[in-house]
Amino acid sequence: MASVDSERQGGPNLNATAVKILVAGGFGVGKTTMVGSVSEIPPLSTEEMLTELSVGVDDLAGVEGKTTTTVALDFGRITISSELILYLFGTPGQGRFWFMWDELAYGALGAVVLADTRRLDSCFPSVDFFERRNIPFIVAVNCFDGADLYQPEEVRQALAVDEKVPIILCDVRQRESCKQVLLTLIEYIIALAPALAGDRSPAVTSS
């Protein structure tokens, strides 16, 4: 278990650790469905405000004055024990939400990039993001019914991801399948840990 920070003496013992895994991918690829399939609670939704400071100039064209829009972010929870809680965050894939990605990615154990073989390109930005930050990720291909089934190796070629990155097929509506995706990711992170540990410098997180 990670070391316990004692923020204050004498209060209730807050000795739980929270960790998070991101579920990223293009629009409508099944992120929320996957979060819901493994979460112990129905996916919750929280919003982050997008103020003019975080909006690109283009987005403000034609908008008068100060604007505040919000972006919904959904997440689920898996209470592993009284000391360990795993949160899964569905990460909005559209470029205009990227201002949130840094906070989302900060401290994440790793990420699942969901891919839809009918629109493989929609997961390119997610793959780029995690590769650049050295955040461990795997690719899970959501097999929508009727979608052309590609072999993982074909997907790997199309995405040009490293040979070591696991690529698996899944059905985000099936709990067992989603569980398998998470296990694959966590095992991959564990396998990577020694390599990452050898490079503890801050450079690990910079792009």
Partner 1 sequence: MMSGDESWFDEAAGPLVRPYAMTRGRTRPASNKLDMITLVVAVRADVDTVTLDPEYAEILRLCQRPLSVAEVSAQLDLPLVVVKVLLSDLIDSGYMIFRPPMRATRVPDKNLLQAVLDGVRRL
Q: Which chain residues interact with ligand GTP by CB under 6 A?
A: 27-33, 90, 93, 142, 144-145, 171-173
172 binds, among partner 1, ligand GTP, Mg ion, none (CB under 5 to 8 A by kind): ligand GTP
Question: HEC states along 110-171?
Answer: EEEEEECHHHHHHHHHHHHHHHHHCCCEEEEEECCCCCCCCCHHHHHHHHCCCCCCCEEEEC
Nearer to ligand GTP, 29 or 127 (CB): 29
Residue 91 sits in the site that holds Mg ion (CB under 5 A): no
The residue whose two tokens read 């590769």 is 131
- Structure-token pair, residue 184: 């694959």
33 binds, among Mg ion, partner 1, ligand GTP, none (CB under 5 to 8 A by kind): ligand GTP
Burial zone of 132 (CB within 10 Å; 0-12 exposed, 13-18 middle, 19+ buried): exposed
123 binds, among partner 1, Mg ion, ligand GTP, none (CB under 5 to 8 A by kind): none
Nearer to partner 1, 149 or 190 (CB): 190
Residue 142 sits in the site that holds Mg ion (CB under 5 A): no
- Structure-token pair, residue 3: 């070391």
Residue 122 sits in the site that holds Mg ion (CB under 5 A): no
Nearest distance from residue 207's CB to partner 1, in Å?
13
Nearer to partner 1, 62 or 198 (CB): 198
Nearest distance from residue 190's CB to partner 1, in Å?
5
- Determine contact, residues 34/112, Cβ cutoff 8 Å: yes
- Structure-token pair, residue 164: 């070591």
Nearer to partner 1, 49 or 160 (CB): 49
Nearest distance from residue 29's CB to partner 1, in Å?
21
Nearer to ligand GTP, 76 or 93 (CB): 93
Residue 32 sits in the site that holds Mg ion (CB under 5 A): yes
Nearer to Mg ion, 93 or 136 (CB): 93
CA distance 124 to 203: 23
Half-sphere exposure of residue 164: CA atoms within 13 angstroms, side-chain side: 9
CA distance 75 to 85: 13
Which residues are near Mg ion by CB under 5 A? 31-32, 90
